[in-house]
Amino acid sequence: MCGIVGAVDFDAPPEQRRELLQAMTDTMACRGPDAEGLWFGSWAAFGHRRLAVIDPEHGRQPMTASHQGRGATITFAGEIYNFRELRAELTTLGHEFRTACDTEVVLRGYLQWGTALVERLNGMYAFGIWDERAEELLLVRDRMGVKPLYYHPTRAGVRFGSEPKAVLADRSLPRRVGAEGLCEVLDMVRTPEAAVFAGLREVRPGQLVRVGRGGVRRHTYWRLEAREHTDDLPTTITTVRELLADTVERQLVSDVPLGTLLSGGLDSSAVTALAARSGPVRSFSVDFRGAADGFAADAVRQTSDAPFVRDLARHVGADHHEVLLDSPELTDPAVRAAVLRATDLPPAYWGDMWPSLYLFFRAVRQRVTVALSGEAADELFGGYRWFRNPLALRAATFPWLTSGSARYFGGRSLFQQGLLDKLDLDGYRAARYAEALTEVPVLPGEPDTERRMREIGYLNLTRFVQTLLDRKDRMSMAVGLEVRVPFCDHRLVEYVFNVPWTMKSFDGREKSLLRAAVADLLPRSVVERVKTPYPATQDPGYESVLRAGLARLLRDPDAPVLPLLDLDRARSVADRPIGAVSRPYDRGSLELVLWLNSWLAEYEVTLDL
């Protein structure tokens, strides 16, 4: 895993941009702590920071190669899981390799097949290729958007990078946020290609972007498609098992220490158990100190992770490590500053989970460089309650933003009503929802119920999951940890997306299909466990520290978020007694205000509303 940056200017030699390119590359130091490289071509310049995972001794980037008179240079981030097969094919076609890394396979694949290369890749990736003869930049992002990639067109070219901060290192680009950008911050709609900052765009998952003298052209090389599912239930269960087993095996390839992230839930336990079939496995779980003994069930967390984690670790013989966090660490200013630097945006959802995930990944990184995660299984197999909530299924909006779920994703209660009316958040949400529904592929003759469940699945796989993948990527790469996501393998996604809902839920439970596919690998306690989300602190002292932070903010006349707030309501929250605990939605608003204020200040954001 790495961090990539680049600049194209058709009106000036790139050598004149050396200082800029170095500044852009420096922003990616956390993503690539092992090596740095710069490259300057005719009209393009690339930077690269490397986290060495495959062939650590070689594979330095940016990398240049030529074949039959055609030359190209690449800056690459990610992993290609079928690179060995592609390498063998390219060797038979006359290519001679200098390294054993997947980056050279991608580069030579482009020289051989051009943009058709992307249809052959299995992996998580974001890369830029400069074609010297065509004088054209190619930007490519993986099908599910596991790896991020941003770009900003300029008068004479483009800037691009793995994160917004890389692009914004060009101080000639405005750090301006308009009404739609602020809507993206305040509401959990996660519009593809939207990147909050004016002029900045995110390469959409499954998208290829070309930048040449004629401007920017975008092409979708992969999207979810509706296909008739003809397999019976036993065959479907077997196919899911085979696809997942193959995916996990491919993703175990690494020349550096590797482990798994284990919660004791079905998804991460399946990944860990399959990994254990290939050899000894190290696993890692996270919890708060004392939480296992003093756990109190709530509306979404019925059980503590700890006993299920231990059952699974014993069952597969994992070398397991429990990471125990102290709640006060979550409000450590240094930790919160690191989280904000990693995200480039206010962490608007699951406020305490961002710093806790950062701390967890930081501890994991002390032992391994690569970890496999169970992320995306809930979106793919129907693990969330809204997949089975009739009110959510009938609602004309994103299912996670209906009553019963919306209170856990952000919060508006501390913002001025005048601001909310001006932004028209409800109208923005409705427009984005309608826009998303127009993308959903149609299977002719599909029953209405199945059609609706296909829509729900599509929304989860193209919107909701992206928020989780972003969080995972930013927090892991902030500490130089590569996290792989087997459930985002496009072969598995394509297959399961087209399995009828009646088959996905054949036993009436969440993730019926996945449970049946992996039950024989797991202890009975894990198989029967009801889905439980990532741990959150239950320490009332955490919220007390947040409210104290709000009180300090309200006393600061220069706090940039003040003009956006309902000051009377904010003061009432700040003045609550020590130990008082808000409803989840109110705490979400408290979290958002604090993060938003820090972001506006640190990033010198100009709001253009």
Which residues form the catalytic set? 2
Return phi, psi of residue 593, to 5°: -60, -45
Residue 133, SS3 per DSSP: coil
Q: Where are the beta strands (DSSP E) in 82-156?
A: 123-131, 136-141, 150-154
Alpha-carbon span 348 to 185, nearest angstrom: 7
Q: How far, CA to CA in Å, does 496 sit from each of 94, 250, 418, 463? A: 38, 19, 44, 17
Q: How many CB atoms lie within 10 A of CB 489?
A: 25
- Closest by CA to 44, choosing from 140, 163, 164, 158, is 158
Question: Tokens for 327?
Answer: 């709640």
3-class secondary structure, 597: helix
Q: How many helices (H) and strands (E) does the chain have?
A: 23, 19
The amino acid at residue 544 is S
Spacing of C-alpha 291 from chain mean position: 27
CB 88 within 8 A of CB 15: no
Tell whether omega for the bond before 444 is within 30 degrees of 0, i.e. cis: no
Give dist(CA 599, CA 339) in Å, integer. Answer: 11
Q: Pick from 523, 475, 509, 483: which is nearest to 309 by CA?
A: 523
CA distance 193 to 159: 15
CA pair distance 215, 168, nearest whole angstrom: 20
Q: Are 67 and 73 in contact (CB under 8 A)?
A: no
Best CA proximity match to 202, nearest among 213, 210, 194: 194
Closest CA to 277 of 310, 305, 244: 244
